[in-house]
Amino acid sequence: MHIVVCKDYEEMSRRAAEIVAEQIKKRPDGLISFPGGDTPLGMVHVFADMVNEGKVDISRTHYVSLDEWVGLSNEDEGSCGLFNQQNLLSRLQHPFAGTHIINGAAEDIESERVALNDYISQYGPLDVSVLGIGMNGHLGFNENGVDFDLDAHIIPLSETTLKVMTKYFGEKFHPTQGISQGIRQIMAAKTVILIANGAHKAEILKKAVHGPVTNEVPASVLQNHPNCYVVADEAAAALL
Ligand code: PGA
C-alpha cells in the first residue's frame, strides 16, 4: 500500500484527484469509479475542475458508480446517484464517453445488479477505483462478513451503516439493503485509491491498513492489492 498523508481535507482531495488524472493520462480509454459520501465531495469537485480546465481528457473514459441504497433513485436526496449527478456529471463541460449510474429504485433490482456487472465487463476491468471507508470498514456496500469473491450484489446494510445513514437523508428514507460493486471487481482495478479524512476514521483506517486481512473489516482486503494508494488527512492517518 502506498500511504499518502495529507495535511488536510483539501490536500487529500487534490492529491486523490491528481492520481486519478495521472491514470487517465496513461490509459485514456479506461473505466473509472468514484464513491458517494462526504469524503469524496472535494475530490470530485477538484476532478471536475481539472476536466473543465483541460488538464485531463475524459472523452474516451467510461464512468460507473460504486453503489446505491436500494429503494433510492438518483433524484432522491442522499442517494449516490444524486451525488454523482450534482457533484460530477452536471459540472463537467466535457462529458465522459459513457456513464452507468446505478438506479437503486429500479423495479427489478436483480436486473439492475446484472446491468452493473455487464457494464463493468464491457468497459472494464476498472482502471481506477476510488473508495471511501465506512466506520465499519466497508467499501461501497461490501459490509462486514461480505464474500470477497462476489461481483455486483445486493446486501443487507450493517448495523453501523444503518446508524450512520441518517446523516445523508435524515429520517426520510429507511433503506435496509445496498447494491454495490463487489470486492472482486474492486480488486481487479489496476489502481485503487482509498480516501479518508477526520479523526473519526483513524481507528478503522488503522485496522484496514495494519490489521489482519478479514472480511470483518472489508477494507483490509486492499492490503492484498498490488497498487493501492491510501490518501488520508493527518487526522485519519494519525494511527498508521
Ligand atoms: P463518508 O462515507 O464518506 O460519508 O464518511 C464513507 C463510506 O461509508 O464509505
Q: What is the pLDDT of residues 114-124, one digit of tens each?
A: 999 999 999 99
Among the listed residues 68, 76, 127, 143, the single catalytic one is 143
Q: Which atom of ligand 1 is closest in space to residue 167's alpha carbon?
A: 4
67-69 and 177-180 strand pairing: antiparallel
Read off the pLDDT of residues 16-34 as tens digits, 9 standing for 90 and up.
999 999 999 999 999 999 9
Hey, how many other C-beta atoms are within 10 angstroms of the C-beta on 167? 10
As for ligand 1, residues whose beta carbon falls within 6 Å of it are 35, 37-39, 132-134
Q: Report whether 202 contacts 236 (CB < 8 A).
A: yes
Residue 148 CA to its chain's centroid (Å): 16
Residue among 38, 41, 169, 201 to mutate when testing ligand 1 (max atoms within 8 A of CB):
38
| pTM confidence score | 0.97
For 130-147, b where at least 16 C-beta lie within 10 A, e where not — what string?
A: bbbbbebbbbbbbbbebe
Residues 20-79 pLDDT 10s: 999 999 999 999 999 999 999 999 999 999 999 999 999 999 999 999 999 999 999 999
| CA 139 – CA 149 distance, rounded (Å) | 14
Decide: 125 and 190 in contact? Cβ < 8 Å: yes
